[in-house]
Structure 1
Amino acid sequence: MIVITLTKVPKSLRGDLTKWYQEIQTGVYVGNTSARVRDALWDRILENIGRGEATMVYNAQNELGYQFRTTRKDRQVVDFDGIPLMMHLKEATGGVKHGFSDAAKFHRANVMTRRSVKRSQSSSKKLMMVSLDLETTGLDPVKDTILSIGAVKWGQDDKIVQFYQLIQVPQKIPEKITELTGITVEMLNKQGISLADGLQGLQKFVADAPIVGYNLRFDEGFLLAAFRKIGQSGLSNRLIDLMPLVKKSNKFLDNYRLETVLADYEIENSHPHHALSDAQATFDLASKLKEKGLF
């Protein structure tokens, strides 16, 4: 059994804990996880606690049968002959926080405003990217080929601009792929264009902007193979794969499939396995990751 109490911490941290523990009262969480997960969550608490406080109590092999940790500055955990005790400190550690005068608050407000403007300007620049997704006839870039290309970016008028194109293929589409993507041979014959025209359209749409994707290595492999087929060099744009960033920032997801990640970030994808819909969802995910300063 593990009990955690939190006070004055960011809502995002409380949200992280609810994935593993039950909040039985405001700021009081109870659960039963492995020591590895427990320690990882405590590290997460220390990283994201802000100016709040946290205390954890958990099972241990000692006289009392439990151990505890705390971030409180007016308490200190001490060991007394193998028995953990919480010692009250006459003076809180960490020193006194200054800056409570009106002048100090006004100065701090100005500083925060300037920082906010800089972050906003920086964020706007960073959002100049193109999200990309492909649907293919299979998983092998050598044997299989691209069925559709979807891409999303910001336009010059600060509106979302989309690129979507079906690609004609010489071979039969596997039934499983048609069931998954909804793409049929009839659709490709009526609406599809050649692979060369599709790639040239993508190049024009992307220009020199960075390209982001989820599990981008998959798409990169198919793009390289596709450009070789038409006798051209591949895209030279900077490529940013969001999957490693998500794995690094959220170590406690059940899995890292795109649908799981989108659900965790509360992003709706109305048509999974549709290149344009997946590209739009990936664009939204990239925007949220950038807001968090993850790249």
Structure 2
Amino acid sequence: MVVLSVTNCPPALRGDLSRWLLEIDTGVYVGQVSRRVREELWQRTTAHVKEGRAILVYQAANEQRMDFRVHNAAWQPIDFDGLKLMMRPNPGLAAPSPPAAPMPRPGFSRAARMRMAKRMSRKAAAKPALPPHLVVIDLETTGYSAQQHEIIELGAIRYRDGEEAGHYQALIWPVGGIPEKVRALTGLTPDILQAQGQPLEAVMPGFLSFLEDAVLVGHNTLFDLDFLHQACARLRLPPPTNQRMDTLALARSHLRDLDDHKLTTLTKHLNLPHEQPHRSLSDCRATFHLLCKLIEIRDATR
């Protein structure tokens, strides 16, 4: 949620703000926008508001759960032991105060960090951060519909106590063709699948057996499991019923300011390794690194 208050707002700026935010009172705008849009709106506001004032308040992953910025305001933000507060100037002062030092990045006070450290130590002693036995899965397909499109690559990597302990990967012959967009994303061509692929019925039993009773991890597990259940129904095989974890759901919960939550976007944003996007084993490893990072973020903000 973003709240922006502007006085003496020029008409051109009001038009820009109204495209993204709802004006609920004169000069007061609210809405839900991405971080990129929020930053561009604030830059445009500070550039156009010469005589008036502007105040921006928005959600942030810090102790106060919010951050704020001011422009041309008498009250000024200050840092107080890691907390961002507003300082009201003393009207009795004859001379203006010296320029304020740059604000540190919003975070947590020392007391809050000590409380979080104690909670983290108790959590670490109570349970491991990761399930001791998990399998990360990823599928490459010819499209988005499990009823109309086909699996062309199956991949899974087993992790025990956070260490890689084996993998399964197979290319599959599609009955239909491969769209040009899918070829460009994956690098998988009809010639490659014809030379290295196998029928779906030849690889599915081995893939399902590899899962065992591990916790299944994926990025958008609903998508992967929809295709797996459709394939199992067609081949008369029992579908997987494992417990699951979805990094897409975790990312949407803890990284709300991003424009999207694609795996490639998240690995780039968090500076995580992702060697060959849109290939199953590379995506599995990237998903595992993402899971570890998201658990770290989740535990740090509790």
Same fold (TM over 0.5): yes
Match for residue 10 of structure 2? none
Matched, 1:72 2:80: yes
Match for residue 236 of structure 2? 231
Two-structure CA RMSD over aligned residues (Å): 4.2
Matched, 1:260 2:260: no
Matched, 1:222 2:227: yes
Change (3 A) 1:46 1:71: farther
Contact 1:57 1:67 in 2 (8 A): no
Contact 1:224 1:234 in 2 (8 A): yes
Q: Secondary structure at the match of 1:243?
A: helix
- Matched residue count: 235
Residue in structure 1 matching 2:253, options 232, 248, 252 = 248
1:114-133 maps to which residues of 2 (within 5 A)? 116=121, 119=124, 122-123=127-128, 126-133=131-138
Identity of aligned residues (%): 25
1:85-123 superposed Cα distances (whole Å, 9 cap, x missing partner) = xxxxxxxxxxxx99xxxxxxxxx9xxx799649617833
Q: TM-score, normalised by structure 2?
A: 0.63
Match for residue 40 of structure 1? 58
Change (3 A) 1:135 1:66: farther
Q: Distance in 1 between matches of 2:184 and 2:69?
A: 50
Match for residue 173 of structure 1? 178
1:170-218 superposed Cα distances (whole Å, 9 cap, x missing partner) = 2222232222211122322332222123221221211111111112222
Match for residue 32 of structure 2? none
Matched, 1:205 2:210: yes
The farther-off stretch of 70-79 and 255-264 is 70-79
1:101-148 superposed Cα distances (whole Å, 9 cap, x missing partner) = xxxxxxx9xxx7996496178336525221111101111111111000
Q: Distance in 2 between matches of 1:140 and 1:204?
A: 25
Contact 1:130 1:283 in 2 (8 A): no
Q: TM-score, normalised by structure 1?
A: 0.64
Change (3 A) 1:253 1:130: same
Residue in structure 2 matching 1:140, options 128, 142, 145 = 145
Which residues of structure 1 form unaligned runs of 5+? 2-16, 22-30, 82-96, 99-107
Match for residue 70 of structure 2? 58
Q: Distance in 2 between matches of 1:197 and 1:156?
A: 31
Q: Distance in 1 between matches of 2:201 and 2:176?
A: 16
Report the AA paired with residue 39 of structure 1.
V
